[in-house]
Amino acid sequence: MTRHVFANIGALNFVVEGLLGEGVSSNHRFDPQAKALGEWLRSRHLDIPEALL
């Protein structure tokens, strides 16, 4: 996993290599697993420290 820090906007981006195999670009079929994983990650709730608000 690779973490990218975007200090200017107070954000992080995580890249998990190999999680979905070669990905949708290597396959001509629809990729419902990636869409479902993205929606699951988007729907997670996190406690944000007051210092960041």
pLDDT in tens, 1-16: 899 999 999 888 888 8
pLDDT at 28 over 70: no
pTM: 0.46
pLDDT at 29: 65
Instruction: Name the nearest CA neighbour of 4 among 17, 22, 23, 19.
Output: 17
Structural domain boundaries, residue 30: 2-52
Q: What DSSP line would sit under the chain, residue for residue?
A: -EEEEEGGGTEEEEE-TTTTTT-GGG-SS--HHHHHHHHHHHT------GGG-
* Of residues 36 and 8, more confidently modeled: 8
Task: Name 36's bridge partners.
Answer: none
Across the range 19-41, mean pLDDT stands at: 71
Count up the domains in the chain and report the number: 1
pLDDT at 6: 93
